[in-house]
Amino acid sequence: MRALTWHGKHDVRMETVPDPQIINPRDAIIRITSTAICGSDLHLYDSYIPSMHRGDILGHEFMGEVVEAGPGSTLQKGQRVVVPFVIACGQCFFCGQQQFSACDNSNPAEKADLSEVAYGYAMSGLFGYSHMTGGYAGGQAEYVRVPYSDVGPIVIPDGLEDEKVLFLSDILPTGWMAAENCDIEPGDTIAVWGCGPVGLFAIQSALLMGAARVIAIDHYPRRLDLAKSMGAEIINYHDVKVREALMEMTGGIGPDACIDAVGMESHGFTIDNVLDAVKATTKLGTDRPHVLREVLMACRKGGRVSIPGVYGGVGDKIPIGALMQKGLQVRTGQTHVHKYLRPLLEMIGEGKIDTTFLISHRLPLEDAPKGYKMFKEQQNEVTKVVLKPDWQKKAA
């Protein structure tokens, strides 16, 4: 089959690789019909996430048709399914708590030590996202093996085309959980840093949950326009000092809750961000947590902080004093996708949630390297790239 493989920083290639096979009774093989490039994939593209091996198959946002199912799978050949990016067994303590992204069994024992050393406990398995998270092949390919297929995939009813449901795999439930972690109450003002895919879905979700105001912070004009069209007030951080602007917009109180939808690769030429970049280059640090610092300083006293943005290593100069003295609540983590699939699918079917507005580019799978380069270098114009394995490669 054809698949997108990782070979180093800014080096991804379409290659012919062996077809996936059923390994365990609960496995299924999915023929991919749609897959997408996620902002988190850019962390791999930028070589920020450790434990990637040359030839690893990328991609964790995908859906398709079941072509084979093991005897322990509940799926049937021919069903259309969306597959969560998180791999969960459904039977461990954490899955029992609906904390699926903390699954204790999906990261193989020979891989689990990598994340246990880094984070204190082993991470769950994730598709296409380094050997620290299990080394599973991803879905930017023609086919993929899905472990625990009796637990993860959700069957899509006829009449809902791929692009309406594809983002159930990751970014829609991630934006929803980000808003849910804010414990939104009537009258609340929510500030969202980053108007990429997760940030935009967090804005949409916060408004659906009853937030009175959502303030979106970014610097790309098109992304700010999308946020505004959804009902958010906007701040271009190139034009103002963000904390001062938020104070003015909230009568000196500050936002009730703040969402960091940026994560470890903050942009900008602030002093702290420049120092973070130097540390990352010289291996004295890994993450660039400028936005997290700003969020902790800007959130109102007694407020809530939600962090869906990916952080992978270590960062310093975190204003821990502000976190403690203001009595902030912080919630973060990889998304418990399985928990949200059914209710979000119902909301899509009822027309309460639209996801298609986000798609800016559609490409054949063979053009995936071009899609990564576009997404990395043209973030104003490129909001989401969807890849179609069934499309023939366009003539050069």
Half-sphere exposure of residue 2, counting CA atoms within 13 Å on the CB side? 16
For residue 86, give both structure tokens: 């998180």
pLDDT given for residue 266 in this prediction: 61
Question: Do 2 and 387 form a contact (C-beta atoms < 8 A)?
Answer: no
Which residues fall within 8 angstroms of residue 171, CB to CB, at 6 or more apart? 38, 61, 197, 198, 201
**d(Cα 59, Cα 35) in Å, to the nearest integer?**
7
Pairing of strands 61-69, 28-37: antiparallel
The distance between the two most distant Cα atoms of the chain, rounded to a whole number of Å, is: 61
Instruction: Find, among 194, 202, 214, the residue nearest to 175 by Cα.
Output: 202
User: Which residue type is seen at 199?
Assistant: G
pLDDT given for residue 270 in this prediction: 61
Q: What is the DSSP string of 103-154?
A: -SSSS-HHHHHHHHHHHSSPPPEEBTS-GGGT-B--SSBSEEEETTTTTS-E
pLDDT given for residue 312 in this prediction: 80
CA dihedral 227, 35, 175, 134 (to 10 degrees): -150
- Helix and strand counts by DSSP (H, E) for the chain: 13, 18
Helix residue ranges per DSSP H, the chain: 39-45, 93-96, 109-119, 162-165, 171-180, 197-208, 221-229, 242-249, 271-281, 290-298, 320-325, 337-349, 368-377
Q: Is residue 14 within a helix (H) or strand (E), and if so which, with residue range? A: strand 12-16
**d(Cα 51, Cα 33) in Å, to the nearest integer?**
28
- Which residues partner with 66 through β-bridges? 30
Query: Reduced to 3 states, what is the DSSP secondary structure of residue 94?
Result: helix
pLDDT tens digits, one per residue of 116-162: 888 999 999 999 999 999 999 999 999 999 999 999 999 999 999 99
**d(Cα 33, Cα 24) in Å, to the nearest integer?**
23
**d(Cα 228, Cα 216) in Å, to the nearest integer?**
8
DSSP letter at 31? E
Ranges of the chain with pLDDT below 70: 265-286, 393-396
Question: Do 58 and 12 form a contact (C-beta atoms < 8 A)?
Answer: yes
DSSP letter at 277? H
User: Which residue type is seen at 3?
Assistant: A
Query: Reduced to 3 states, what is the DSSP secondary structure of residue 58?
Result: coil
